[in-house]
Amino acid sequence: MWKKWFNLVIALTLLLILIPSVAVAAPLGQDETVYTIQKDDSLWAIAEKYLGNGAAYRAIVVANNEKQKTDPSFAKIIEPSLIQPGWKILVPSAEEAAELMAEAAAPRPRLDQTLVLAVEKDVKTWDIQKAGADTPSGSLVYDFLIKYDANGNRFPGLAESWEISEDASELTFHLRKGVKFHDGTDFNAEAVKINFERQMDPATGAARTQELTNAIEEILTPDDYTVVFKLKQPDVAFIGYYIGEVTNGAIMSPAAMEEYGEDFGAHPVGTGPWKFVSHSIGQEIVLERNEDYWDGAPTASKLVIRPIPDAATRLVELETGNVHWIQKLDPIQLETVEANPDLVLHTKPSTSLYGLFFNQNMDLFKDVNVRRAVALAIDVDGVVEALIGKAGIRSQGPVPVLNLGHNPTIEEPGYDTQEAQRLLAEAGWTPGADGVLEKDGKKFEFTILSPDGRYIQDKEICTAVQDQLKSVGLEATVKVVDPGAFWDELFAGGFDMAFTGGWFTDPDPARGPMYLYFGDTQYNVFGYGDEELWEIFGKARQTGDFDTRKEMAWRAQEILNDDVVGVWFFNANILAASTEKLKGYDHNGIGFLRFDTAYLEE
């Protein structure tokens, strides 16, 4: 009899011993996991799977990067949206994640505080769809179907989830339920449809009417909370281009649009975290907390936004404590801010690119060796360090470093004045009596076109370059043009090099400055054409597979680099400064204004 009990006890004991080890062997949610990124993975989805909460991706980033410090075999996650297949990352245990997320998970307090922000430009119109609108302010009063977080990760906005068909020609959005506009009307599929159709209506005067009309076949609303965009041709970039944050795709209240008609631009009504109160033109914008905001009401109760055009004045207002946060700092102000213990500098890299473009319509730069020589004669590192400093990061190639299609393997010409001179000599250029190179009686004289202060340090960089090129016998004249007339000058041609660039929020490999400036577009004023490249460009936005798109982007960069189409200086940083009493502020490199979690510590 007791033998039976004895066996039972042994069995139970063994079972008890085995269960923990079984538990240990179970990979999910108990302990840390070492995970290798697969194709089409996102940190959000990984967090969802392993930690039960997509938003816990932040915990993954923190835990992983901590681990990476001691074990470099782990990939360092600099930007959560930029993870590559094959990377080894650490997923923390659920407990650890919960600890790391404790602050973020805690219900947001609601304080009775006013944050005063100083921006460079006044909001021209709150009607985000219109051509003159300034889209970064849109994130305050409006929501988009897809939101970005501070690190550029896409996550659900007014759309809880979405699917893109295999061939990228159909997008289905499942909308969040129970969301109301500030005027109390319901947010639903009909509202989304009305918003996009309004953009497509020529009478609206929207910014992207024709593009949307060319792209969208029709918009269907099978039920109150589902919207289907049927595209005329596949386009993987459709989401980033029209739907995500900082585009013209904000969802505005149809009822309010009807009520206010033409004056809607002065009476915005959205679903966003802040409700519009008043706008005294040129003086201040007042917004108040949306108590019923679906993503958690903001901590502060009021936002006062003051347009102050002069950067120096903005900084003084911050230093005197009259404002709590300023944007758009000049590179020379960075030191002052950092040296001041009462101020905090915020900086994040952006997907922008600025550099010198060669105009191959002009005889002088038709020869790739001449272009290479010029590139070799410019000390890009030195110029960027001296003139840009912390206001940007040194670019590598014609694609911003943060673009998902950035190719880190290409080698730019570099800085080698001797090699430059050698190449020039080979091309038949010899020094004249005054040191300037000559060939067939013609001097190496050319123009560099620069706008006047449209981009950070634009004319200063051009002047520095002019100086450096002089030392190898190249005589450049810098032509500085009023920013309003800059594009006219570019279209008119006649320049040999131009300093320009751009800022493209969507980091998809199929998007970015190179498509615009070197593709078969009206913006290709640089006379550049390459069959293979244009074939790649033509296919890029229609290629559904991420890896293929990325490969295509890499190849494109190789071609552009071999052809030395330009000299690439920097990717601008998005800069802001605040009083160190401002806590909970999530600075982003995308460029939108977001103050949901910010508050002042008393």
Instruction: Give whichever of 209 and 360 is closer to other proteins, judged by the CB atom.
Output: 209
Are the C-beta atoms of residues 272 and 137 closer than 8 Å to each other?
Answer: no
DSSP of 213-230, one letter per residue?
HHHEEEEEEEETTEEEEE
Residue 538 interacts with other proteins (CB under 8 A): yes or no: no
Beta carbon nearer to other proteins, 127 or 295: 127
Which residue matches tokens 């006890």? 9
- Strand ranges, E, within 395-440: 430-431, 437-439
Span near other proteins by CB under 8 A; candidates 279-287, 329-337, 375-383, 578-586: 279-287
State yes or no: residue 502 binds other proteins (CB under 8 A): yes
Q: Segment 38-97, which members bind other proteins (CB under 8 A)?
A: none
How far apart are alpha carbons 261 and 263 in whole angstroms?
5
Q: By CB under 8 A, tell whether 480 contacts other proteins.
A: no
- Using the minimum distance from each CB to other proteins, give the nearer residue, 277 or 492: 492
Of the two residues 125 and 226, which places its CB atom closer to other proteins in the complex? 125
Closest CA to 450 of 485, 475, 415: 485
Q: Which of 255, 362, 516, 559 binds other proteins (CB under 8 A)?
A: 516
The yes or no reply on residue 322 touching other proteins (CB under 8 A) is: yes
- Write the interaction track for other proteins spanning residues 119-138; mark x where CB under 8 A is met and - where it is not: -----xx-x--xxx------
CB 329 within 8 A of CB 337: yes
Q: CA-to-CA distance for 538 and 510, rounded, in angstroms?
A: 10
Q: Which is nearer to other proteins, 514 or 564 (CB)?
A: 514
Q: Which of 26, 45, 277, 281 binds other proteins (CB under 8 A)?
A: 281
Complex with other proteins: residue 234 or 307, whichever CB lies closer? 307
| Smallest distance, other proteins to C-beta of residue 568, A | 18
Q: Please give the structure tokens belonging to residue 300.
A: 């502060």
Q: Find the binding residues for other proteins in span 190-219 (CB under 8 A).
A: 202-203, 205, 207-211, 214
309 binds other proteins (CB under 8 A): yes
Cβ nearer to other proteins, comparing 87 with 487: 487
Interaction of residue 485 with other proteins, rule CB under 8 A = yes
Q: Which two structure tokens, joined as six digits, stand for 537?
A: 């460009």
Q: Candidates 95-103, 171-179, 307-315, 368-376 — which segment interacts with other proteins by CB under 8 A?
A: 307-315
Binding flag, residue 27, other proteins (CB under 8 A)? no
Angle in degrees, 0-180, between the axes of helices 546-562 and 531-540, rounded to the nearest 10: 150
The stretch among 34-42, 308-316, 542-550, 587-595 that binds other proteins (CB under 8 A) is 308-316
Does 283 participate in binding other proteins (rule CB under 8 A)? yes
Q: Per CB under 8 A, does 320 bind other proteins?
A: yes
Least CB distance to other proteins at residue 382 (A): 29
Does 316 contact other proteins by CB under 8 A? yes
CB of 282 or CB of 341, closer to other proteins:
282
Within 429-545, residue ranges assigned H as helices are 458-470, 483-492, 513-518, 531-540
Which residues share a beta bridge with 348?
574
Phi, psi of 34 (to 5 degrees): -95, 120
Total residues belonging to the chain: 602
Alpha carbon distance 341, 336 (integer Å): 10
Q: Confirm or reject binding of residue 488 to other proteins (CB under 8 A).
A: yes
Q: How far is the CB of 265 from other proteins (least distance, A)?
A: 6
Q: Up-side HSE of residue 324: CA atoms within 13 Å toward CB?
A: 21
Measured CA to CA, the distance from residue 197 to residue 233 in angstroms comes to 18
Q: Which two tokens stand for residue 96?
A: 């650890």
For residue 408, count other CB atoms closer than 10 A to its CB.
9
Q: How far is the CB of 249 from other proteins (least distance, A)?
A: 13
CB of 496 to other proteins, least distance (A): 19
Nearest to 192 by CA among 249, 277, 147: 249
**31 counts as binding other proteins under rule CB under 8 A:** no
Nearer to other proteins, 28 or 277 (CB): 277
Under the binding rule (CB under 8 A), the answer on residue 32 touching other proteins is no
Phi-psi region of 194 (alpha: psi -120 to 50; beta: other; left: phi over 0): alpha
Cβ neighbors of 2 (< 8 A, separation 6 or more) are none
> Which residues make beta-bridge pairs with 372?
none
Neighbouring CB atoms inside 10 A of 133's CB total: 20
Residues that bind other proteins in the complex, under the rule CB under 8 A: 124-125, 127, 130-132, 202-203, 205, 207-211, 214, 262, 265-266, 280-284, 306-310, 312-313, 316-317, 319-320, 322, 482-485, 487-489, 492, 502-504, 516, 522-523
